[in-house]
């Protein structure tokens, strides 16, 4: 009907102008429903790899996959989805295999046993072929709708974008302990972001090629990237409550998180100059010990005060011994750094 009135088409009257143009648009686009040309988001990326570490997340995988595909089709770049099955004992692997059969953009790696999220990310990073990489959790807590936003933020010139779950749906204790960890990590590392351990992150390829995520250091990836000289930033991302199953990290996460913070700070800031840390600690500890011992000696020599029954004597001696030990550890560290220098630590920006 609409196409069969060409005369009317040529003379749009003021009243039906809007109708006329809409009709034109409809005629032009009626066969293009599968190409949402209007909503294509342009990003500066040829191929994005979506990397998903997972452990026993059977219920979430299909909805997650469907959601990712829906979102990713609105971006003007090629993609791949890589599931890293971290030794699941439920039906996760079967489900991933089913998905991979129907979609050749889906790949998977399956570990023989549970090696941990850091291992899953580390191995996945080796496997990706995209020039940009997005990591996200498999439990539907991270929202795939954020994928374009992360990529657009990378386009502003950042090497890594970390999600910030500003409005967070996690148990009370986890929410607040994590806030404390994030605060301490921010102060100690000097990186101004609010949420270091968000599963949703975007990276340019060189970042993942140059960081070493082992143990449980996935909590501190922004620190590792920043240390290598990459530009790190954050955007606020949507977060959802866990829909199925339960968290894979128990109460031990608090202790491990704390120990890992020390590891990460030491292996980034002081790894090439251990004496700066231990020498500093040693100097002040033994200085305090010497001051205390000097004071006791002064009293003994000039006022003949007995040294027995003076707990301060033990404190002074202890501080001197501990201070010397700090020094010794620092020196040993320096010897090791001297012998095992590793040029892979440096990221080269350019050379001729």
Q: Are 54 and 88 in contact (CB under 8 A)?
A: yes
Cα 53 to Cα 220, 255, 303, distances in angstroms: 16, 22, 70
89 binds ligand UDP per the rule CB under 6 A: no
Q: Which is nearer to ligand UDP, 87 or 316 (CB)?
A: 87
Q: Which is nearer to ligand UDP, 69 or 281 (CB)?
A: 69
Q: Which of 129, 247, 332, 346 touches ligand UDP by CB under 6 A?
A: 247
Site for ligand UDP in 260-319 (CB under 6 A): none
* Interface mask toward ligand UDP for 113-152; x: CB under 6 A: -x-xx--x----------------xxx-x-----------
Q: What is the distance, to the nearest Å, from the Cα of residue 141 to the centroid of all Cα atoms in its chain?
A: 15
Q: Which residues bind Mg ion (CB under 5 A)?
A: 137, 139, 141
Pick one of Mg ion, ligand UDP, none as the site partner of residue 23 (Cβ within 5 to 8 A by kind). none
By beta-carbon proximity to ligand UDP, the closer residue of 57 and 260 is 57
61 binds ligand UDP (CB under 6 A): no
Give the residue with the Cβ less far from Mg ion, 252 or 342. 252
In the complex, minimum distance from the CB of residue 242 to ligand UDP, in angstroms, rounded to a whole number:
6
Contact 307, 313 (CB under 8 A): yes
Look at residue 80 and give the partner it binds from Mg ion, ligand UDP, none, a contact being a CB closer than 5 to 8 Å depending on partner kind: none
Report the nearest approach of ligand UDP to the CB of residue 248 (Å): 3
Which listed residue (58, 80, 86, 260) binds ligand UDP by CB under 6 A?
Answer: 86
- Name which of 24 and 240 has its Cβ closer to ligand UDP: 240
**Selected binder of ligand UDP within 199, 222, 289, 316 (CB under 6 A):** 199
* Residue 205 sits in the site that holds ligand UDP (CB under 6 A): no
Q: Please identify which residue in 45, 53, 210, 264 interacts with ligand UDP, judged by CB under 6 A.
A: 53
Question: Candidates 33-41, 225-233, 246-254, 255-263 — which segment interacts with ligand UDP by CB under 6 A?
Answer: 246-254
Closer CB to Mg ion, 58 or 159, in the complex: 58
238 touches ligand UDP (CB under 6 A): no
Comparison of 119 and 275: residue with beta carbon closer to ligand UDP: 119
Residues 112 and 322: their CA atoms lie apart, in Å, by 45
- Considering only residues 12, 41, 238, 249, which one is a binding residue for ligand UDP as defined by CB under 6 A? 249
The C-alpha atoms of residue 134 and residue 116 are separated, in whole angstroms, by: 19
| Binding residues vs ligand UDP (CB under 6 A) | 53-55, 57, 86, 114, 116-117, 120, 137-139, 141, 199, 247-249
């Amino acid at each position: 009907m609409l196409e069969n009135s060409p005369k009317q088409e040529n003379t749009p009257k003021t009243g039906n102008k809007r109708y006329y143009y809409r009709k034109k648009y409809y005629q032009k686009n009626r066969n293009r429903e599968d190409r949402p040309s209007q909503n294509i988001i342009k990003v500066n990326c040829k191929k994005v790899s979506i990397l998903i570490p997972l452990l026993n997340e059977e219920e979430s995988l299909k909805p997650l996959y469907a959601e990712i595909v829906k979102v990713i089709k609105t971006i003007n770049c090629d993609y791949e989805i890589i599931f890293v099955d971290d030794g699941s004992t439920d039906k996760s692997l079967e489900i991933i295999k089913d998905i991979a059969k129907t979609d050749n953009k889906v790949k998977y790696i399956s570990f023989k046993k549970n090696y941990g999220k850091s291992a899953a990310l580390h191995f996945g990073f080796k496997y990706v072929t995209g020039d940009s990489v997005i990591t996200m959790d498999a439990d539907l807590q991270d929202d795939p709708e954020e994928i374009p936003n992360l990529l657009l933020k990378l386009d502003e010139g950042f090497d890594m974008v970390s999600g910030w779950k500003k409005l967070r749906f996690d148990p009370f204790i986890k929410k607040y302990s994590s806030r404390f960890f994030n605060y301490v990590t921010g102060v100690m590392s000097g990186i101004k972001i609010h949420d270091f351990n968000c599963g949703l992150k975007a990276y340019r390829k060189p970042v993942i090629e140059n960081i070493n995520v082992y143990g449980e250091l996935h909590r501190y990836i922004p620190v590792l990237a920043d240390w290598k000289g990459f530009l790190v930033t954050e955007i606020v991302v949507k977060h959802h409550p866990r829909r199925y199953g339960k968290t894979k990290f128990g109460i031990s996460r608090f202790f491990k998180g704390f120990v890992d913070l020390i590891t990460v700070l030491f292996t980034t800031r002081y790894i090439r100059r251990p004496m700066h840390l231990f020498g500093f600690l040693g100097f002040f500890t033994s200085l305090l010990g010497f001051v205390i011992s000097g004071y006791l000696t002064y009293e003994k020599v000039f006022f003949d005060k007995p040294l027995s029954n003076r707990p301060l004597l033990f404190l002074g001696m202890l501080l001197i011994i501990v201070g010397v030990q700090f020094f010794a550890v620092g020196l040993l560290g320096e010897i090791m750094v001297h012998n095992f220098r590793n040029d892979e630590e440096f990221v080269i920006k350019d050379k001729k």
